A and B are shown apart, each in its own frame.
Chain A
Amino acid sequence: MEAHSSEVFVIGLTVFFLACIIGYYVVWSVTPALHSPLMGVTNAISSVIIVGAILAAGPQGFDTSKIFGLIGVVLASVNIFGGFLVTYRMLSMFKKKTNKKKENK
C-alpha cells in the first residue's frame, strides 16, 4: 500500500458518496411492483462481502482468522445463492401471461 492512508480513505469516501447518488436514482426508477425482487437482489449483492471472507480464508494452515473467514464464506454463499435464486423465482412469475392463461384454466 503505497498511497498515504488518509488519501486511501478520501478516495473511498468519494466512491461512497458517488455510489449513494447512483443508488438513489437507480432505486427510484425501480417499479413499485418489483420492490420485493429488489430486496432479493440487494440481499444477494450485499453478500459481495464474501470477497473479504475469501481473503481471510485464503492463507494455508489454520488459525482463528482463517476459521472466521471460512464461516464468513459459508454465510455469504447462503445469501448469494439464496438471494439470486429467490429473485429468479419471483421474476419468472412476472412474465407476460396473456397466451398462457387459457391453458391454465
Chain B
Amino acid sequence: MSSNMVAILYLISALLFIFALRGLSHPESSRTGNIFGIIGMIIAVFTTLMFKSVLSYYEIGAAILIGGAIGSFIALRIEMTALPQLVAAFHSLVGLAAVFVAAAAFYDPVAFNIGKVGSIKISSLVEMSIGTFIGAITFSGSVLAFGKLQGTISGKPIVFKFQHLINALIFLLIIFLIIFFVVNQSPTIFWTIVFVSILLGFLVVIPIGGADMPVVVSMLNSYSGWAACGIGFTLSNNLLIITGALVGASGAILSYIMSKGMNRSIINVVLGGFGGEQDTSASKDNSDKIVKQGNAEDAAYIMKNADSVIIVPGYGMAVAQAQHALREMGDILKKEGIEVRYAIHPVAGRMPGHMNVLLAEANVPYEEVLELDEINHDFPMTEVSFVIGANDVTNPAAKTDESSPIFGMPILDVEKSQSVLFVKRSMATGYSGVDNELFYRDNTTMLFGDAKKMCEDIVKSLSA
C-alpha cells in the first residue's frame, strides 16, 4: 500500500472518530456515533496491518484476542455504579500502552523510521520522552484514582509538608533527565524518566479527596489524550495526533465543567487537600434549632397532594442503590397525574454524567432528567422538592454566606419550592463539612433513614 493510501485511510478513520463524538450531541444519534467510532478503529488497525514491515500476524492477532477478551469480559460485567473506577482503570492502560510504544520506538527506531539505535533524531527523542512522561503520569495517577474510587485506598486527601515544592522539584528533575536523555540516548536514563514520572503521578493524585474525583478522572482522561499525541508526534502519525488532541480537549473541557460545578479553579482542585481539614467547629451552632421530622407516610401524603414534584438525586442515592425504588415512586406519582422531573447537578455523581447513566439504567426516561440550568427557574413553580442523597448542592449558603467554603457554587434552588423533603441518614454535614440551613426551615421535612428503604416505604404508602 502506498504511503498516500495509508494517509487517506488514516484520515477517514480520524473523521469517523470526530463523527463518533459529534453523535453524542443527542441520545438518539449517539448509538450511530459509537458505530462510527468502531468502524474508524477497525480501519486504523487493518491499515496498519497492511504495512510491509508488519509480518507477525499470528502474534498480533493473539495479542488482540487476549486484550479484547479481557476488555469485553470486564465491560459486560461492570456495575454502572462502578463506572468511574472502570474508566480510571482504562485510562491507566492507555498511559501504560503509551510508555511501552515509546520504549519500543527507542529500542527499535528503524521500525518507526526515526533513525538508528544510538543516533535517533533529536526531535523524535524529545517527543518520545514527553510521550513517556505523560503516559507514565497517566498510568500511576489513574491507578491511584482507581484505588480511591474503589475504596481500596482511603479517599481522604493525604497532605504533608512541602508537598507542592517536592512535586515541583521532581518536575524539574524530569526536565533535566529529558535533556540528558536527548544528549546521550542511554536506556538507563529512559527508564529513570519512566520511574520518576510514575512517582510524580502518585504524588499528584494523593492530596486529592474522594469527592473531587470527578475532576481527577476527567483530567486523567485529558492526559491519556496528550500521551497519545506525544506518541503521534514521535511516529509522525497524524491519526494519533488528531485522536489524541480530540481526547485531550474532551478531558480538559470536562474537568473545566466539573470544577465550575464546585466553584473551584482546576488549580485549586489539583493542589488538593479540600474536604479533609475543614474546621467543622466553625460552622454555626444549630443545636437549639428545631428540625421537623417526618416518615414515609407523611412524604407520600405531601407528594400525592402536589401537582409537581422535582426529584434531586445525589451520590448518596446511588450508594444506597435506591434508583430503582426511586423510579417506581416516580411512576406511581405520574400515574396520579403529578408532574415528576429529575434535576441533576453537574457534580451529582462520581464522574461527569454518572447520575444520568444511573437513572437511565433504572429506566427513567431521559426527557424527564434535566440539567441545572434547564430546571432551576422551575423550582418557584414547584410544590415539592424531593432531595435524596444530596446536600451541599442544595445549600443556599452558597449564595448568601460569603464565609462559607462552598460560596459561589451553583446550587439547585430547592428552597424556592413550596416544600422540601430531605431523605438523609442523619443530620451529618455533606462532604464540604458545611451545615445546611435548609434543614431548619418551616417548609422542610426531614426523612431520616436509608434512601432505598425510604423510597420503598413511600411506594408502599402511595399504593396503599
Closest to A92 in B: B31
* Chain-A contact segment, one of B314-322, B348-356, B377-385: B348-356
A93 CB to closest chain B CB (Å) equals 4
* B56 close to A58 (CB less than 8 A): yes
* B44 close to A63 (CB less than 8 A): no
Q: In A48-105, which residues have CB < 8 Å from any B CB?
A: 48-60, 63-66, 68-98, 100-101, 104-105
The residues of A that contact B253 with a CB separation of less than 8 Å are 24, 27-28
For the side of the interface on B, what is the size category? 35 or more
Judge whether B361 is part of the interface by a CB distance below 8 angstroms: yes
CA distance A80 to B66 in the complex (A): 12
* A76 close to B93 (CB less than 8 A): yes
A46-B243 contact given A37-B353, A81-B68, A91-B27, CB 8 Å threshold: yes
CA distance A39 to B31 in the complex (A): 14
B304 CB to closest chain A CB (Å) equals 19
Q: In B74-125, which residues have CB < 8 Å from any A CB?
A: 74-76, 78, 80, 83, 86-87, 90-91, 93-94, 96-98, 100-101, 103-105, 107-108, 111-113, 121, 123
Q: In A1-51, which residues have CB < 8 Å from any B CB?
A: 1, 5-6, 8-9, 11-12, 15-17, 19-20, 22-24, 26-51
* A12 close to B236 (CB less than 8 A): yes
A84 CB to closest chain B CB (Å) equals 5
* A53 close to B71 (CB less than 8 A): no
* A42 close to B221 (CB less than 8 A): yes
The residues of B that contact A101 with a CB separation of less than 8 Å are 331, 363, 365
Of A35, A46, A97, the residue contacting B353 (CB under 8 A) is A35
Number of A-B contacts (CB under 8 A): 377
CA distance A101 to B368 in the complex (A): 14
* A8 close to B87 (CB less than 8 A): no
Judge whether B284 is part of the interface by a CB distance below 8 angstroms: no
Of B74, B83, B123, B241, the residue contacting A36 (CB under 8 A) is B83
Closest to B114 in A: A1
CA distance A68 to B59 in the complex (A): 12
The residues of B that contact A35 with a CB separation of less than 8 Å are 254, 257, 351-353, 356
CA distance A82 to B74 in the complex (A): 7
* A94 close to B27 (CB less than 8 A): yes
* A85 close to B76 (CB less than 8 A): yes
* B37 close to A5 (CB less than 8 A): no
Which of A36, A39, A58, A79 counts the most B-chain CB atoms under 10 A from its CB? A39
A58 CB to closest chain B CB (Å) equals 3
* A72 close to B71 (CB less than 8 A): no
A58-B55 contact given A15-B238, A39-B352, CB 8 Å threshold: yes
* A94 close to B241 (CB less than 8 A): no
B250 CB to closest chain A CB (Å) equals 5
The residues of A that contact B133 with a CB separation of less than 8 Å are none
* B247 close to A46 (CB less than 8 A): yes
* B363 close to A49 (CB less than 8 A): no
CA distance A86 to B199 in the complex (A): 30
* A57 close to B63 (CB less than 8 A): yes
The residues of B that contact A60 with a CB separation of less than 8 Å are 55-56
Of B76, B78, B221, B246, the residue contacting A19 (CB under 8 A) is B246
The residues of B that contact A9 with a CB separation of less than 8 Å are 123, 233
A93-B94 contact given A26-B21, A42-B21, A49-B240, CB 8 Å threshold: no
* B75 close to A86 (CB less than 8 A): yes
* B51 close to A58 (CB less than 8 A): yes
The residues of A that contact B74 with a CB separation of less than 8 Å are 78, 82
B143 CB to closest chain A CB (Å) equals 13
A72-B104 contact given A36-B354, A42-B221, A45-B20, CB 8 Å threshold: yes
The residues of A that contact B121 with a CB separation of less than 8 Å are 5
A48-B239 contact given A31-B26, A72-B100, CB 8 Å threshold: yes
CA distance A58 to B360 in the complex (A): 43
* B242 close to A19 (CB less than 8 A): yes
Judge whether B151 is part of the interface by a CB distance below 8 angstroms: no
* B104 close to A68 (CB less than 8 A): yes
The residues of B that contact A26 with a CB separation of less than 8 Å are 18, 21-22, 246
A24-B63 contact given A31-B27, A51-B44, A69-B101, CB 8 Å threshold: no
* B24 close to A38 (CB less than 8 A): yes
* B40 close to A45 (CB less than 8 A): yes
Judge whether B369 is part of the interface by a CB distance below 8 angstroms: yes
Closest to A57 in B: B60
B255 CB to closest chain A CB (Å) equals 11
* B237 close to A52 (CB less than 8 A): yes
A84-B238 contact given A32-B353, A49-B98, A75-B100, CB 8 Å threshold: no
Closest to B74 in A: A82
* B100 close to A47 (CB less than 8 A): no
The residues of A that contact B225 with a CB separation of less than 8 Å are 42, 46
Of B27, B80, B105, B247, the residue contacting A56 (CB under 8 A) is B105
Can you list 18 residue pairs at the A/B interface with Cβ under 8 Å? A5-B121, A11-B238, A15-B241, A16-B245, A19-B242, A19-B244, A26-B246, A30-B24, A38-B352, A41-B34, A45-B20, A45-B37, A49-B98, A56-B112, A65-B111, A82-B70, A91-B30, A97-B365
